């Protein structure tokens, strides 16, 4: 039985529009999982312990009419087919079957019973897109992006961090990851940008955070166009709860495309007069181009007393409130950077970590209403198979 599951898994692994969201070993487990995951299609073997596939299909058809079942059986006789259909299955696969048979059957069931029913997609998570931005370098965008991302992951969220600082991206070094696969490898093939292609170039950090790294060398940055980035966002949006961008300190067409697409722009400033000046110019530029200013949240990073001006002065100078404050804690920030670790994971009780964990809590709180808790549910077609 395990063998059947691993065969099916292997056959479906490279299918971009099919995502396996769960596996069960018997009919009882399958029913429990369907309740939790509400997949679009279930692949069910007839011969299973506890509750057999036909009985399970009958229960699913009655209790979960939006979930479509395909029955798999070694017996191809008319009688079995008839019993499966009577149990409420939408199709029947005779074992052994080829990858094509399997994919076609799932696709047909999906097209016929799922595709044209938008209400079945309403609960799919759509990622919040958060962009860390500033018009001055060195203010802490990468530090904040990496640590907020890791903190959201530790709260059970699925997060993709994209290093859009394409020329001199620091996410790889900040998390001590080899930049073997990057956004450059994704776009240079000229292949269509699909979830499958993107996944091949994602690096997953040991904490569970997915990373799409910046090209290794600045010369490759030009190859990545805004269209590529928008396509990436489009393709991964239902696979993550959060997509976080670490942006470079410039306003070109590329950054604007990402900022436009973002649900929240975390504009990072510090208590330095040059940061105040540049942030002010940045806000004015956004105003001039009619950018939606309500998306902008001002983050005061490296907060420290007695440096000539403080949070209130920053707010007055920029005419927007500070959304979150992160204290200056150089030793922790520097050490975690040099060790390639996220301080929210290594030093979670430090003041700097607590402020970012608080930000993550706040974000999760805001988006909880808008998102489903079914974060494991992915793209267009979701599949669960029993046996």
Ligand X SMILES: Nc1ncnc2c1ncn2[C@@H]1O[C@H](COP(=O)(O)OP(=O)(O)OP(=O)(O)O)[C@@H](O)[C@H]1O
Task: Give the C-alpha separation, 348 to 342, whole Å.
Answer: 9
Task: Give the C-alpha separation, 340 to 320, whole Å.
Answer: 34
The pair of structure tokens assigned to 295 is: 């998306």
Q: State the binding partner of 322 from ligand X, Mg ion, none, CB within 5 to 8 A by kind.
A: none
The alpha-helical segments, DSSP class H, found in the chain are 2-13, 27-37, 53-63, 78-86, 99-113, 141-154, 171-174, 183-188, 195-200, 226-236, 253-261, 273-288, 311-318, 330-339, 343-346, 351-368
For residues 26 and 174, which CB has a smaller minimum distance to ligand X in the complex?
A: 174
What is the side-by-side strand order in the sheet with 322-327?
Answer: 203-204, 210-212, 159-163, 242-246, 128-133, 264-269, 296-303, 322-327
**Among residue numbers 146 through 175, which ones bind Mg ion (CB under 5 A)?**
170
Q: State the binding partner of 8 from Mg ion, ligand X, none, CB within 5 to 8 A by kind.
A: none
Question: Cα 323 vs. chain centroid, distance in angstroms?
Answer: 24
- CB count, 10 Å around CB of 138? 12
x/- map, 257-296, ligand X, by CB under 6 A:
----------------------------------------
For residues 142 and 177, which CB has a smaller minimum distance to ligand X in the complex?
A: 142
How far CA 217 is from CA of 167, 185, 213, 232, in Å, comes to 7, 12, 11, 21
For residues 125 and 140, which CB has a smaller minimum distance to ligand X in the complex?
A: 140
Asked whether 91 and 105 are in contact (CB, 8 A), the reply is yes
Q: Does 131 bind ligand X (CB under 6 A)?
A: no
Strands 381-385 and 128-133: unpaired
Q: State the binding partner of 140 from ligand X, Mg ion, none, CB within 5 to 8 A by kind.
A: ligand X
For residues 68 and 131, which CB has a smaller minimum distance to Mg ion in the complex?
A: 131
For residues 196 and 249, which CB has a smaller minimum distance to Mg ion in the complex?
A: 249
Report the residue number whose CB is nearest to ligand X.
137
Count of chain residues binding Mg ion (CB under 5 A)? 3
Q: In the bound complex, what is the minimum distance in angstroms from residue 133's beta carbon to ligand X?
A: 9
Q: Does 131 bind Mg ion (CB under 5 A)?
A: no
Q: Does 215 bind ligand X (CB under 6 A)?
A: no
Q: State the binding partner of 338 from ligand X, Mg ion, none, CB within 5 to 8 A by kind.
A: none
Q: Does 196 bind ligand X (CB under 6 A)?
A: no
x/- map, 298-337, ligand X, by CB under 6 A:
---xx-----------------------x-xxx--xx--x
- CB count, 10 Å around CB of 47? 14
Q: Does 67 bind ligand X (CB under 6 A)?
A: no
Which of 49, 96, 137, 287 is the binder for ligand X (CB under 6 A)?
A: 137
3 state SS of 21: strand
Asked if omega into 96 is within 30° of 0 (cis), the reply is yes
Q: Does 88 bind ligand X (CB under 6 A)?
A: no
Which of 72, 106, 139, 150 is the binder for ligand X (CB under 6 A)?
A: 139
Binding footprint of Mg ion on the chain (CB under 5 A): 141-142, 170
Binding footprint of ligand X on the chain (CB under 6 A): 134, 137-143, 165, 170, 249, 301-302, 326, 328-330, 333-334, 337, 352
């Amino acid at each position: 039985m395990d063998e059947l599951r691993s065969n099916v898994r292997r056959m479906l692994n490279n299918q971009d529009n099919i995502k396996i969201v769960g596996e069960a070993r018997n009919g009882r487990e399958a029913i429990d999982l369907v309740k939790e995951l509400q997949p679009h299609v279930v692949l069910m073997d007839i011969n299973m312990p506890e509750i057999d596939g036909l009985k399970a299909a009958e229960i699913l058809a009655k209790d979960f009419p939006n979930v479509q079942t395909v029955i798999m059986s070694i017996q191809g006789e008319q009688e079995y087919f008839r019993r499966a259909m009577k149990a409420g299955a939408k199709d029947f696969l005779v074992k052994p079957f080829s990858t094509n048979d399997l994919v076609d059957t799932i696709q047909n069931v999906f097209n016929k019973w799922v595709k044209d029913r938008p209400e079945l997609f309403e609960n799919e998570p759509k990622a919040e897109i958060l962009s860390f931005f500033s018009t001055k370098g060195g203010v802490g965008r990468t530090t904040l992006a990496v640590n907020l991302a890791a903190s959201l992951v530790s709260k059970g969220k699925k997060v993709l961090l994209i290093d859009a600082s394409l020329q001199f991206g620091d996410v790889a070094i900040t998390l001590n990851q080899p930049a073997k696969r990057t956004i450059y490898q994704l776009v240079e093939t000229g292949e269509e940008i699909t979830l499958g292609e993107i996944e091949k170039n994602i690096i997953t950090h040991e904490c569970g955070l997915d990373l799409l790294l910046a090209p290794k060398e600045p010369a490759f940055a030009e190859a990545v166009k805004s269209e590529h980035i928008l396509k990436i966002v489009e393709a991964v949006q239902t696979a993550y709860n959060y997509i976080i961008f670490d942006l470079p300190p410039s306003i070109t067409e590329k950054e604007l495309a990402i900022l436009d697409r973002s649900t929240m722009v975390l504009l990072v400033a510090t208590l330095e007069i040059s940061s105040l000046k540049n942030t002010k110019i940045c806000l004015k530029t956004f105003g001039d181009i009619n950018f939606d200013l309500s998306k902008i949240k001002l983050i005061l990073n490296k907060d420290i007393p007695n440096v000539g001006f403080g949070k209130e002065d920053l707010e007055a100078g920029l005419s927007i409130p500070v959304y979150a404050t992160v204290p200056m804690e150089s030793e922790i920030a520097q050490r975690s950077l040099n060790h390639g670790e996220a301080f929210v994971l290594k030093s979670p009780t430090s003041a700097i970590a607590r402020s970012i964990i608080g930000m993550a809590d706040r974000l999760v709180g805001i988006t909880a209403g808008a998102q489903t808790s079914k974060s494991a549910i992915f793209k267009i077609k979701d599949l669960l198979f029993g046996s």
